[in-house]
């Protein structure tokens, strides 16, 4: 098995990476390459499929099988790859415009089917490649080239779409936190079914600092809740704050205040099938709450490509037709002996 | 017996017609199958409205099924029917213009009430006179009340009883044409295996109808149509959509690949998806996608991963797939796109046939985006051309569009079952040497690239929709784009060496060459045959390969004084020929009624042209 001991270098292609200097995509790619190197999967079994957008140039920078497809359709193409060969480890690289605007339909249906894909959604809340138009994840009022007076629509929360599509895996990361990224990508890769990983990604050119109110070192400890399986939902510089449930709603509490003890803090369980609490965590936003990061949901359910294989195997056990000749001669046929 | 009229004919066309809920499609199909088993050659044409249950009793809701069968080769379902089975007044009104003068009309007299006559838009109580059908043999049969009477003791409610009306009519027609009932009985037994009372009721109605004809034989003419003189072999009845599905299966087996179909339901192509969904026994992977785009996108993914990948659709769906077809062109992946054409534009005439997607297939994409285009000629032909579409795609690493149409897809004919060993080989171009592999390195003769799929160690590479260099990496070099644009076109033209030459029916020179493509084959060859019988110097050349065109086409054209291109559109193939084979005057015969040509229309059109 020595040959499967890869390093990150094995996953870098010879192509020059052409994202803007300082773009969050570099760090995300780094985390994904590290993850792939450590999975013990033969390199030729990875397929990286992307749509259109800055992030979708990703496959060209990977030394794996890669396919840069068309706008919005990456998850549909990737579904075909996976069904054709379920033994592959298939990754979809997409952005907020690609996955949630033009590709919204494919995104929700792929999640609903629970096709075994890892969908990495680079969310920079802007169209970068077309130079700065608002996206379906831009906040209401966002000013951009196509919304000079501010948008008049509310954004999608990718996590809500995943829950609404009966998703089995949802995680959230931040481009700059490579360590968290690796943890999440590894969990996503091991999950059977559609794993959606939303990565908050800074666009240095068109949406600089879009996540700085979360990532700024000055207050990030208070504004990020990094979820860990089986552990209390604590945050703050000294883990002095936590999330509690009060009257059916989440609430931030400080330990030691109002009689709140560590034991009162909710314990994170990504494996819980009931999505209610997962949705509540996804919905947490500033300033009332910290933003939830890490693996929020990871539950098991039948996987489409496996079910497809199973069904074929099952039907073939009792089949009458074993080849096309059998099929053509099945049912009503008659002989003409010639006149 | 002496009263009985016995009519002996070489071929007869029957039209079954009623409300879209009357079961006319099933009745027609069963009669056709029984005739094929009896040894006749047949050709069928289902003609039904797009509403599942249009308002009862109205002309718009009439569903028809025409079958022609004969003692020699039958190439069309017949221009006009000799016998009409009409379940209501609307059926008479809708079909009067499809009747052969002096034919026979059998109708359910119980349904010819004042109310139904009004619904069908008749102004008097004599619908036959109103439709100028007075010189027809008109036979009133109280089908409804006889069916009710016959099924009285079965404990069925009236609604269920009335569902067996079609079996009574079928029985009557079977008597008129001396068809044995055993095949139909067996079908009923299988279909309603879980409902013995329904089996019994339907068989009783079938026999009642048959016996009614026998008892009243002084009223009803009977027809004798001898069995056909057909090539030796094992036969089955097959429609175009089933033949397409099975042709793809045959190609998968021959190429050693798994078959993947990504599709979205659309009339009249859905039956291909259904036929392949049933074939899990042969390992077919069918994926009913969320939309047309996902249908083709998933197929492109499957092609990238090494399957024989197919998507099936009809006109509007092909429009939705355009961008993705361009991706397959750019990436140079093997992909089969089946378009069962219907009347357009937009939603158009979903259940009617037309040949109006030719230019869409050839050119309907952004950029210069050449694909191979094939068109099947008859229902059973779809098997062979689906197979060839897959062979060309896999051996030349190119998307192939197969054009069929609603007439072929739903129409059926007896088909001599081929053996798989008779079929040509299919050799996918899998890459072999990882050290020398480059994604867009080409075979010098065919210009086809090699296929390396995920899982093949050492062949990792990237492809995509951006213009690329030989490795597959992005290239914005102006010279490179010009070279690649030409290569993509030339690669398609090189397919010429895989396809047969254009064949000619009739003499190699003459006054008129009738030219057609795709699903009009049967009507055009019949028309040419009739004209030749009359001593006219007319031949017929039919195109099954549209892009590239067979290399000998111009050589054939130059031997005729006039060339007339007949198609079910305003002249798309004619304009394509003017562009690709210039130097000839192309006359046109066109029809845009959502219906196939009639043989007469072509015969008359050609005669007129000869007089000019």
Superfamily name with CATH number, domain B6-224:
Pyruvate-ferredoxin oxidoreductase, PFOR, domain III (3.40.920.10)
pTM of the full predicted structure?
A: 0.92
Inspect the interface and report whether the beta carbons of B457 and A44 lie closer than 8 Å.
yes
Q: Identify the band that residue B2 occupies on the pLDDT scale cut at 50, 70 and 90.
A: very low
Please tell me what DSSP assigns to residue B468: B
Interface test with B, best of A41, A53, A84 (most B CBs within 10 A): A84
Interface test with B, best of A77, A89, A330, A339 (most B CBs within 10 A): A77
* CATH of range B504-611; options 3.40.50.720, 3.40.50.920, 3.40.50.300, 3.30.930.10: 3.40.50.920
Chain A residue closest to B228 (CA)? A339
Token readout for B43 is: 């050709």
Q: Identify the band that residue B218 occupies on the pLDDT scale cut at 50, 70 and 90.
A: low
Residues counted in chain A: 339
Reference B543, options B512, B516, B577; nearest CA is: B516
Per DSSP, the residues of B444-459 read TTT--B-B--TT-TT-
Please tell me what DSSP assigns to residue B589: E
Inspect the interface and report whether the beta carbons of B297 and A106 lie closer than 8 Å.
yes
Integer Rg of chain A from CA: 23
pLDDT number for residue B3: 44
Strands B308-313 and B285-288: unpaired
H-type alpha helices, B278-416: 292-304, 315-331, 358-363, 381-396, 406-410
Chain B residue closest to A311 (CA)? B280
Inspect the interface and report whether the beta carbons of A84 and B285 lie closer than 8 Å.
yes
Burial of B243 (0-12, 13-18, 19+ CB in 10 A): buried
Domain edges within chain B? 6-224, 237-422, 504-611
Please state, in angstroms and rounded to a whole number, the distance separating the CA atoms of residues A157 and A118.
18
Taking contacts as CB-CB distances below 8 angstroms, the residues of chain A near B282 are 319, 321, 323-324, 327
Neighbour tally for A175: CB within 10 Å: 24
Which are the contacts of B97, defined by CB distance < 8 A and separation ≥ 6? Answer: none
Per DSSP, the residues of A196-233 read EEEEE--BTTTBTTTTHHHH-TTTHHHHEEE--TTSB-
Is B20 within 8 Å of B62 (Cβ atoms)? yes
Per DSSP, the residues of B31-86 read HHHHHHHHT-EEEEEEE--SSTTPSTTSGGGEEEEEEEEESS---SS-SSEEEEEE
Tens of pLDDT, residues A258-302: 999 999 999 999 999 999 999 999 999 999 999 999 999 999 999
A324 → closest Cβ in B324, B420, B474: B420
Taking contacts as CB-CB distances below 8 angstroms, the residues of chain B near A66 are 460-464
List the strands of the sheet with B99-108, edge to edge.
B41-47, B62-70, B11-19, B81-86, B99-108, B137-141
Tens of pLDDT, residues A118-161: 999 999 999 988 999 999 999 999 999 999 999 999 999 999 99
Taking contacts as CB-CB distances below 8 angstroms, the residues of chain B near A73 are 293-294, 297, 324
Inspect the interface and report whether the beta carbons of B235 and A333 lie closer than 8 Å.
yes
List the strands of the sheet with B412-416, edge to edge.
A333-336, B233-239, B412-416
The region, left, alpha or beta by phi > 0 then psi within -120 to 50, assigned to residue A106 is alpha
Inspect the interface and report whether the beta carbons of A105 and B466 lie closer than 8 Å.
no
Tell whether the torsion through CA atoms of B192, B198, B200 and B201 is positive or negative: negative
Which are the contacts of B419, defined by CB distance < 8 A and separation ≥ 6? Answer: A325
Tens of pLDDT, residues A298-335: 999 999 999 999 999 999 999 999 999 999 999 888 88
Reference A308, options B365, B284, B116; nearest CA is: B284
Tens of pLDDT, residues B373-392: 999 999 999 999 999 999 99
Q: Identify the band that residue B144 occupies on the pLDDT scale cut at 50, 70 and 90.
A: very high
Q: Identify the band that residue B39 occupies on the pLDDT scale cut at 50, 70 and 90.
A: confident
Inspect the interface and report whether the beta carbons of A79 and B301 lie closer than 8 Å.
yes
Taking contacts as CB-CB distances below 8 angstroms, the residues of chain B near A328 are 236, 246, 417-418
Question: Tell me, which fold does domain B237-422 have in CATH?
Answer: Rossmann fold (3.40.50)
Reference B313, options B357, B269, B273, B249; nearest CA is: B269
B294 → closest Cβ in A66, A106, A322: A106
Please state, in angstroms and rounded to a whole number, the distance separating the CA atoms of residues B172 and B158.
21
Instruction: Tell me, yes or no, if the two domains B237-422 and B504-611 fold the same way.
Output: yes
Inspect the interface and report whether the beta carbons of B461 and A46 lie closer than 8 Å.
no
Closest Cα of chain B to A103: distance in Å? 10
pLDDT number for residue A1: 44
Chain B residue closest to A83 (CA)? B302
Which are the contacts of A139, defined by CB distance < 8 A and separation ≥ 6? Answer: A125, A151, A155
Please state, in angstroms and rounded to a whole number, the distance separating the CA atoms of residues B394 and B409.
24
Please state, in angstroms and rounded to a whole number, the distance separating the CA atoms of residues B411 and B379.
6
Per DSSP, the residues of B502-554 read PPEES-SSEEEEEEEEGGGHHHHHHHHHHHHHTT--EEEEEESEEESPPTTHH
Is B263 within 8 Å of A44 (Cβ atoms)? no
Residue B430, classed as helix, strand or coil, is strand
- The secondary structure element, H or E, covering residue B399 is strand B399-405
pLDDT, mean of residues A191-213: 94
Which are the contacts of A140, defined by CB distance < 8 A and separation ≥ 6? Answer: A150, A151, A152, A153, A154, A155
Q: What's CA B38's distance to the chain center, in Å?
A: 23
Taking contacts as CB-CB distances below 8 angstroms, the residues of chain B near A338 are 231-232
B305 → closest Cβ in A84, A316, A336: A84
Inspect the interface and report whether the beta carbons of B280 and A339 lie closer than 8 Å.
no
Chain A with chain B: Cβ pairs closer than 8 A: 208
A332 → closest Cβ in B236, B253, B309: B236
Inspect the interface and report whether the beta carbons of A336 and B231 lie closer than 8 Å.
yes
Burial of B226 (0-12, 13-18, 19+ CB in 10 A): middle
Is A111 within 8 Å of A99 (Cβ atoms)? no
Question: Tell me, which fold does domain A2-230+269-277+287-304 have in CATH?
Answer: Rossmann fold (3.40.50)
Inspect the interface and report whether the beta carbons of B301 and A67 lie closer than 8 Å.
yes
Please tell me what DSSP assigns to residue B442: B
Please tell me what DSSP assigns to residue B239: E
Locus of tokens 């769906």:
B317
Per DSSP, the residues of A250-297 read EEEEETTSTT--GGGSPBP-TT-S--HHHHHHHH--TTTSPEEEEEEE
Phi–psi pair at B55, nearest 5 degrees: -45, 130
Domain edges within chain A? 2-230+269-277+287-304, 232-267
Mean pLDDT of chain B: 94
Please state, in angstroms and rounded to a whole number, the distance separating the CA atoms of residues B581 and B131.
47
pLDDT number for residue B164: 95
Taking contacts as CB-CB distances below 8 angstroms, the residues of chain A near B36 are 334
pLDDT, mean of residues A246-264: 95
Is the minimum CB–CB distance between B246 and chain A shorter than 8 Å?
yes
pLDDT, mean of residues A11-32: 91
Cβ under 8 Å to A: B residues 458-477: 458-466, 473-474
What ipTM, to 2 d.p.?
0.97
pLDDT number for residue A3: 55
Closest Cα of chain A to B453: distance in Å? 8
Please state, in angstroms and rounded to a whole number, the distance separating the CA atoms of residues B467 and A93.
20
Please state, in angstroms and rounded to a whole number, the distance separating the CA atoms of residues A36 and A58.
14
Q: Is the pLDDT of residue B102 over 90?
A: no
Closest Cα of chain B to A330: distance in Å? 9
Neighbour tally for B123: CB within 10 Å: 9
Q: Identify the band that residue B548 occupies on the pLDDT scale cut at 50, 70 and 90.
A: very high
Chain A residue closest to B251 (CA)? A324
A68 → closest Cβ in B229, B230, B464: B464
Tens of pLDDT, residues B68-87: 999 888 999 999 999 999 99
**More confident of the two residues B231 and B90:** B90
Residues counted in chain B: 612
Is the minimum CB–CB distance between B279 and chain A shorter than 8 Å?
yes
Phi–psi pair at B75, nearest 5 degrees: -105, -10
CA distances from B122 to B9, B56, B89, B128 (A): 33, 15, 8, 10
Cβ under 8 Å to A: B residues 38-67: 39
Tens of pLDDT, residues A43-100: 999 999 999 998 999 999 999 999 999 999 999 999 999 999 999 999 999 999 999 9
- Across B92-249, where does the E strand assignment appear? 99-108, 137-141, 222-224, 233-239
pLDDT number for residue B143: 96
Please state, in angstroms and rounded to a whole number, the distance separating the CA atoms of residues A331 and A327.
8
Q: A75-79, B47-51, B424-428 — which is least confidently predicted? A: B47-51
Taking contacts as CB-CB distances below 8 angstroms, the residues of chain B near A94 are none
DSSP bridge partners of B588 = B565
Closest Cα of chain B to A41: distance in Å? 11
Taking contacts as CB-CB distances below 8 angstroms, the residues of chain A near B303 are 80
Residue B140, classed as helix, strand or coil, is strand
Reference A134, options A156, A149, A121, A151; nearest CA is: A151
B283 → closest Cβ in A46, A106, A316: A316
pLDDT number for residue B229: 76
Token readout for B204 is: 């009783």
pLDDT number for residue A338: 59
């Amino acid at each position: 098995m020595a040959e499967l001991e890869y390093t990150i270098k094995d996953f870098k292609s010879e192509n020059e990476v052409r994202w803007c200097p300082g773009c969050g995509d570099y760090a995300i790619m780094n985390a994904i390459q590290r993850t792939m190197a450590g999975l013990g999967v033969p390199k030729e079994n990875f397929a990286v499929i992307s749509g259109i957008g800055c992030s979708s140039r990703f496959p060209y920078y990977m030394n794996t099988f890669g396919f840069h497809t068309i706008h919005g359709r990456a998850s549909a193409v990737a579904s075909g790859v996976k069904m054709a060969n379920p033994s592959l480890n298939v990754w979809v690289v997409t952005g907020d415009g690609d996955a949630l605007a033009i590709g919204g339909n494919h995104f929700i249906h792929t999640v609903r089917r629970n096709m075994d894909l890892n969908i990495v959604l680079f969310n920079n809340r802007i169209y970068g490649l077309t130079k700065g138009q608002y996206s379906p994840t831009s906040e209401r009022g966002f000013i951009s080239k196509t919304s000079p007076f501010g948008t008049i629509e509310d954004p999608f929360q990718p996590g809500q779409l995943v829950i609404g599509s009966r998703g089995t895996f949802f995680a959230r990361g931040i481009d700059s936190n490579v360590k968290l990224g690796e943890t999440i990508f590894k969990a996503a890769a091991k999950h059977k079914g559609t794993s959606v990983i939303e990565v908050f990604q800074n666009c240095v050119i068109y949406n600089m600092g879009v996540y700085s109110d979360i990532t700024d070192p000055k207050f990030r400890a208070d504004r990020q809740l990094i979820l860990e399986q089986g552990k209390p939902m604590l945050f703050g510089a000294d883990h002095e704050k936590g999330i509690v449930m009060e009257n059916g709603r989440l609430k931030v509490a400080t330990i030691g205040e109002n009689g709140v003890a560590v034991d009162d803090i909710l314990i994170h369980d990504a494996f819980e099938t009931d999505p209610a609490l997962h949705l509540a965590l996804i919905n947490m936003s500033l300033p009332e709450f910290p933003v939830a990061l890490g693996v929020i949901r990871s539950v098991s359910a039948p996987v489409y490509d496996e079910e497809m294989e199973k069904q074929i195997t099952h039907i073939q056990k009792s089949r009458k037709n074993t080849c096309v000749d059998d099929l053509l001669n099945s049912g009503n046929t008659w002989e003409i002996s010639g006149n | 017996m002496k009263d009985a009229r016995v009519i002996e004919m070489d071929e007869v066309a029957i039209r079954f017609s009623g409300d879209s809920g009357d079961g006319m499609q099933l009745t027609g199909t069963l009669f056709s199958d029984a005739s094929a088993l009896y040894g006749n050659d047949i050709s069928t044409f289902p003609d039904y409205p797009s509403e599942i249950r249009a308002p009862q009793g109205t002309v718009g809701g009439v569903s028809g099924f025409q079958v022609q069968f004969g003692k020699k080769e039958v190439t069309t379902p017949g221009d006009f029917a000799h016998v009409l089975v009409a379940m209501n007044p609307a059926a008479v009104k809708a079909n009067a213009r499809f009747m052969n003068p002096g034919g026979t009309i059998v109708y359910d007299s119980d349904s010819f009430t004042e109310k139904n006559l009004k619904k069908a838009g008749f102004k008097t109580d004599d619908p036959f006179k109103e439709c100028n059908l007075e010189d027809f043999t008109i036979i009133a049969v109280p089908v409804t009340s006889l069916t009710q009477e016959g099924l009285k003791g079965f404990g069925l409610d009236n609604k269920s009883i009335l569902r067996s009306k079609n079996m009574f009519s079928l029985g009557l027609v079977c008597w008129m044409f001396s068809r044995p009932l055993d095949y139909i009985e067996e079908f009923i037994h299988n279909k309603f295996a879980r409902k013995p009372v329904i089996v019994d009721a339907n068989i009783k109605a079938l026999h009642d109808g048959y016996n009614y004809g026998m008892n009243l034989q002084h009223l009803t003419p009977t027809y004798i149509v001898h069995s056909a003189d057909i090539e030796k072999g094992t036969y089955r009845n097959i429609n175009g959509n089933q033949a397409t599905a099975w042709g793809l299966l045959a190609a998968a087996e021959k190429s050693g690949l798994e078959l993947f179909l990504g599709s979205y339901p659309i009339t009249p192509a859905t039956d291909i998806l259904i036929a392949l969904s049933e074939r899990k026994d042969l390992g077919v992977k069918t994926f009913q996608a969320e939309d047309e785009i996902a249908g083709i996108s998933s197929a492109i993914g499957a092609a990238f991963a090494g399957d024989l990948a197919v998507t099936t659709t009809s006109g509007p769906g092909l429009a939705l797939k355009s961008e993705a077809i361009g991706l397959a062109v750019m990436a140079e992946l093997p992909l089969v796109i089946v378009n069962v054409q219907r009347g357009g534009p937009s939603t158009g005439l979903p259940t009617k046939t037309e040949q109006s997607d030719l230019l869409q297939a050839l050119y309907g994409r952004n950029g210069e985006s050449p694909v191979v285009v094939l068109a099947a000629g008859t229902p059973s032909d779809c098997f062979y051309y689906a197979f060839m579409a897959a062979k060309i795609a896999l051996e030349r690493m190119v998307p192939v569009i197969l054009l069929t149409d609603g007439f072929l897809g739903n129409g059926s004919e007896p088909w001599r079952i081929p053996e798989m060993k008779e079929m040509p080989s299919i050799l996918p171009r899998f890459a072999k040497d990882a050290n020398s592999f480059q994604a867009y390195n080409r075979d010098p003769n065919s210009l086809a690239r090699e296929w390396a799929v995920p899982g093949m160690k050492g062949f990792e590479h990237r492809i995509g929709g951006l213009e690329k260099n030989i490795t597959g990496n992005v290239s914005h070099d102006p010279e490179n784009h010009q070279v690649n644009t030409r290569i993509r076109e030339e690669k398609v033209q090189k397919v010429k060496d895989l396809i047969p030459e254009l064949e000619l029916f009739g003499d190699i020179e003459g006054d008129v060459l009738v030219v057609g493509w795709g699903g009009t084959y049967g009507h055009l060859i019949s028309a040419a045959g009739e004209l030749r019988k009359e001593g006219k110097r007319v031949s017929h050349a039919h195109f099954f390969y549209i892009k590239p065109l067979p290399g000998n086409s111009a050589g054939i054209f130059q031997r005729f004084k006039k060339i007339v291109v007949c198609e079910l559109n305003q002249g798309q193939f004619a304009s394509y020929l003017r562009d690709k084979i210039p130097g000839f005057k192309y006359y046109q015969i066109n029809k845009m009624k959502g219906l196939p040509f009639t043989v007469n229309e072509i015969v008359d059109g050609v005669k007129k042209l000869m007089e000019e």
